[in-house]
Amino acid sequence: MTDVTVVGGGIIGLSVAWRLVQRGLTVTVLDSGGDEGAWYAAAGMLAPAGETAFGQEPLQELLLESARRWPAFAAELSLEAGYDLRFDTTGAVDVALTGDDLAEARRLWAYRELRDLKVRPLPPSELRELEPALSPRVRGGAFLADDWQVDPRRVVAALRAVLGDAVTTSRVTSLPEGVTVVAAGLGTAALTGLPVRPVKGLVLRLRGEPGVLRHVVNGYVDGRHVYLVPRSDGEVVVGATQEERADFTVTAGSVLELLRSATDLVPELAEFELTETVVRHRPSTPDNAPVLGPLGAGVVVAAGHHRNGVLLTPVTADLIADLVVGRVDPLLAAFSPGRFA
């Protein structure tokens, strides 16, 4: 007998289900199966500072709150699953290639400092001490102590392990009876009528000598943006394109753009093996903030996390599980599905 059905077994649905089980409920997760979710492409940057842009204050509060919850979430899940998530708190560096890039980056750093985010501007010499593989052309950068990373594929594997038989393969075409959490990413639109749209993203995976990069690198490169996320085994995730499209085509131009930016910053990456190109779609809403809350009798939505679903996983799981058992956190107010009614 199921108390709650969760539709969608991506990183959000699985973590909500895990928190519901911990609250004593019997949960069934219905997922179309495989790796079609956005989590499969996600780099796993946990970047409350790097993702803080002008405006969007309630979302920034939610990003920060979720970042605060990541260390405990990762420790608890690793322990329960017996699985290393590669949760890494080394920090990130912003890096600007040209003078214009540096001017753009400085405007953002000033704004982030106003919002009490830890941003420490660095001269090129100090930057290269932190990241010796950076090109000598790099003009400057900053250290972001609170921007971390995790491997989303390992998080999903761990959540699947702890949930076991509670996860069932099924493509849902209409909402089930009983208490239901809709966490179906892009599938949420067809199931609920909410305006969740696909935002196409391409990431590349490279593989080479471990340790060439020590931090997540956010690059401003001749007006283009690129990020490099190094894992301890020598993998480097290079991302990401962002287009208002729903297709899965990997174009030569988008691969070229990412690789050119990446190797402009870190020339040694040209020697790495290109092991994977992967396209998925960010589930995004008209204001690019998630929809979190009740939609009707017995139906709760947790979707539309756009660029930050991995970062927002712990706070979403806690708030939605609490909501299902009757505790309404004030943080939810700004993200109500009702704002699109």
Ligand X SMILES: Cc1cc2nc3c(=O)[nH]c(=O)nc-3n(C[C@H](O)[C@H](O)[C@H](O)COP(=O)(O)OP(=O)(O)OC[C@H]3O[C@@H](n4cnc5c(N)ncnc54)[C@H](O)[C@@H]3O)c2cc1C
Return residues touching ligand X (CB under 6 A): 7-13, 30-32, 36-39, 41-45, 171-172, 183-185, 187, 191, 201, 203, 239-240, 280-283, 303, 305-311
Tokens at residue 292, please?
């979190």
Q: Which residues contact 127 (CB under 8 A, 6 or more apart)?
A: 93, 95, 134, 138, 140, 141
Question: Minimum distance from CB of 70 to ligand X (Å)?
Answer: 10
Residue nearer to ligand X on the CB measure, 37 or 140: 37
Q: Order of strands across the sheet with 140-144?
A: 120-122, 140-144, 92-96, 216-221, 224-230, 235-239, 197-207, 273-284
- 8 A C-beta contact, residue 191 and residue 109: no
Residue nearer to ligand X on the CB measure, 135 or 322: 322
Residue nearer to ligand X on the CB measure, 188 or 263: 188
Residue nearer to ligand X on the CB measure, 50 or 140: 50
- 8 A C-beta contact, residue 39 and residue 10: yes
Residue nearer to ligand X on the CB measure, 13 or 140: 13
Question: Minimum distance from CB of 51 to ligand X (Å)?
Answer: 8
Question: Minimum distance from CB of 123 to ligand X (Å)?
Answer: 28
Residue nearer to ligand X on the CB measure, 38 or 265: 38
Cβ neighbour number for residue 105 with a 10 Å cutoff: 23
Question: Minimum distance from CB of 312 to ligand X (Å)?
Answer: 7
- 8 A C-beta contact, residue 174 and residue 30: no
Give how far Cα 272 sits from Cα of 105, 208, 234, 259, 266, Å. 28, 5, 9, 11, 11
Question: Minimum distance from CB of 271 to ligand X (Å)?
Answer: 24
Nearest CA among 311, 323, 35 for reference residue 181:
323
Residue nearer to ligand X on the CB measure, 140 or 314: 314
Tokens at residue 134, please?
């950076």
Backbone angles phi, psi at 83, to 5 degrees: -145, 130
Question: Minimum distance from CB of 101 to ligand X (Å)?
Answer: 21
Question: Minimum distance from CB of 10 to ligand X (Å)?
Answer: 2
In order, the DSSP letters of 254-307 are HHHHHHHHHHHH-GGGGGSEEEEEEEEEEEE-TTSS-EEEEEETTEEEEE--GG
Residue nearer to ligand X on the CB measure, 135 or 170: 170
Tokens at residue 40, please?
């499969």
Question: Minimum distance from CB of 86 to ligand X (Å)?
Answer: 13
Helix (H) or strand (E) holding 108: helix 99-114
Give the rounded distance of the alpha carbon of 24 from its chain centre. Answer: 28
